[in-house]
Chain A
Amino acid sequence: MSEAVQPLGGSAFDGLVHLSEAPLQGMITLRADLSDAAVKKAIKAATGQTMPDIRGASVQEGQGVLWMSPDEAMLLVPYAEVDAALAKLTKSLGKVHALAVNVSDARAMFSLRGPAAREVIAKLAPVDMAPGAFEPGMVRRTRFAQVAGAFWMEDQETIHVVCFRSVARYMFDLLSVASDPASAVDFF
């Protein structure tokens, strides 16, 4: 088994926010009827978190569920436990019509920490980042400049961004430029 590494080897940047590549994160994408009680139960068993409502995120300490679309959820589990979690999920789904795949190594994840985190995201994505409009407990799939990505807030000053691993360098550079200390807008 090859050694798993972060896409950019753990890059970090300090500017308006502290931008860092998140440690390896286990991610399982699940396609199923999310209103099905059996699916909800299987998600709860695999992640320890309950399936959130539309555009919701329930994540605690690297474990949780993100609402991705009406029939898709992203399950977050510790990287080392992803195979076990996937096996458990597949087993508890049983005969339910569903598809679950381990996509941990196909994604890159970044964390922005600091009071300007909202501002950095607002510069790049067409999302209303005003306090009250976007809050912890919500997830948003959108685009960051030219690439697709998703993000959710852990608290008012911490935002996690997920994108495809193939565009990790682009995303990191983009977030770095947007958090350049000379580019502060102080809008929020």
Chain B
Amino acid sequence: MLILHCPYCGIDAEETELHAGGEAHLTRFGPGSSDDDFEGYLFMRENPRGVHFERWRHANGCGKWFHAARCTNTLEVFGTYSAQTTEPPEEIRKILAKKRPGWTWRDLK
């Protein structure tokens, strides 16, 4: 059972209270953007073996969206963090540097 800590209501919510929201930190391209950018935004997703960043919603709870850093290989949860950010915060990066030295994800490392 996947358990994620909701950074908004402080509850360690289990999977059935949550709703998965796909990949995190996407840059949205809308009207006026190039076809390549729009296609990338719509269809191109990471499929890493290892460190991954996801969006989750505490649907049966406080209703807030948040981010989670997880490992697709071991299902380890590195941590969760606020949705009001465009990249993983420093404390998550520190944990990753310790637990998965040399990790990469998109252009992050």
A interface, CB within 8 angstroms of B? 54-55, 68-70, 72, 126, 140-143, 148
Contacts and interface: CB of A to CB of B under 8 A. Distances in A.
A70 B16 contact: no
A142 B10 contact: no
Interface residues of B, number: 14
A69 B60 contact: no
Interface of A is mostly: strand
Contacts of B17: 126, 142-143
Interface stretch (B34-42, B61-69, B85-93): B61-69
A69 B62 CA distance: 5
B9 interface: yes
Contact of B60 (A68, A70, A72, A143): A143
Contacts of A72: 62-63
B63 to A, nearest CB: 6
Interface string B1-30: 000000011110110110000000000000
Instruction: Pick the most buried of B13, B59, B60: most chain A CB atoms within 10 A of its CB.
Output: B60
B45 to A, nearest CB: 28
B19 to A, nearest CB: 11
B96 to A, nearest CB: 26
B60 A55 contact: no
27 contacts: A54-B9, A54-B10, A55-B10, A55-B11, A68-B62, A69-B8, A69-B9, A69-B62, A69-B63, A70-B8, A70-B9, A70-B62, A72-B63, A126-B13, A126-B14, A126-B16, A140-B11, A141-B9, A141-B61, A141-B62, A141-B63, A142-B17, A142-B60, A142-B61, A143-B16, A148-B59, A148-B60
Nearest to B14: A126
Contacts of A68: 62
Contacts of A141: 9, 60-63
Nearest to A145: B16
Contacts of B13: 126
Given A55-B10, A69-B63, A126-B17, 6 more contacts: A55-B9, A55-B11, A70-B62, A142-B61, A148-B59, A148-B60
Contacts of B62: 68-70, 72, 141
Contacts of B10: 54-55
A99 to B, nearest CB: 15
Which 4 A-B pairs rank lowest in CB-CB distance, beginning with the nearest? A69-B62, A143-B60, A126-B14, A141-B61
A23 to B, nearest CB: 26
A69 B14 contact: no
A141 B13 CA distance: 11
Nearest to A147: B60
A141 B8 CA distance: 13
Interface in B50-66: 59-64
